[in-house]
Amino acid sequence: MKVETLLFDLDGTLIDTNELIIASFAHTLEKYSEQSYTREDILSFIGPPLVDSFNKVNPEKVEEMMATYREHNLANHEKYVVAFPTVVETIKKLKEAGFQLGIVTTKLSDTAKLGLKITGMDQMFDVIVGLDNVEHAKPHPEPILKAIDEFKANPMTTMMIGDNYHDIEGGHNAGVQTAGVAWTIKGRKVLEDHEPDYMLEEMRDLLQIVGVE
């Protein structure tokens, strides 16, 4: 099936924010939880909306924890955030080839824009759907369907690309094609278990799949 519209998750897919996210969680958990968390424990928090992760830690302090996390995360973006290998050149080629490119993320849209700006991709995407633009986060289909609606795209010619099972499940639920990324911090098997249509070893693999190369 031809692809015309490409929707990307941001963190862990286009930009490497893993160490930033882990540092922000560690900073917040140290402040609000008496329990000590290992790096492995923190990995389980990556992907879902913050409210869901912090609800498991301390349901009475969720708002405060989210504010602390976001303050640390924003303050340290420049220090940590880089694009994954082959991402920037791939996105440029896709843009030049006329594909509709969008971001569908569980981050707030302003923070997503900051990550894109730091990595030089802020002019590449015409639609950004963040957590503040929807009622339901992935794997609910709403964010993906909202992006499709803004593009006036056809779900059948749309692909969702991501590093988390939420992206693949969300894609299935929205009726679009899906691609997982092998560089996910979760381990590729987590994605393969959700049966994406494609698995990218590196971002440039996408060029062949959509017929640019």
Residues marked as catalytic? 9
The C-alpha atoms of residue 131 and residue 19 are separated, in whole angstroms, by: 21
From CA 203, how far away is CA 85, in angstroms rounded? 7
Give every CB contact of residue 40 below 8 A, 6+ residues apart in sequence. Answer: none
Of the candidates 85, 37, 42, 35, which has an alpha carbon nearest to the alpha carbon of residue 185? 42
Angle, alpha carbons 183-144-164 (nearest 5°): 25
E strand or H helix that includes residue 8 = strand 5-8
Torsion sign across C-alpha atoms 98, 104, 107, 109: positive
Place of tokens 């969702």: 160
- Give the pair of three-digit tokens for residue 188: 């590729």
Interior angle at CA 53, CA 51 and CA 58, nearest 5: 85
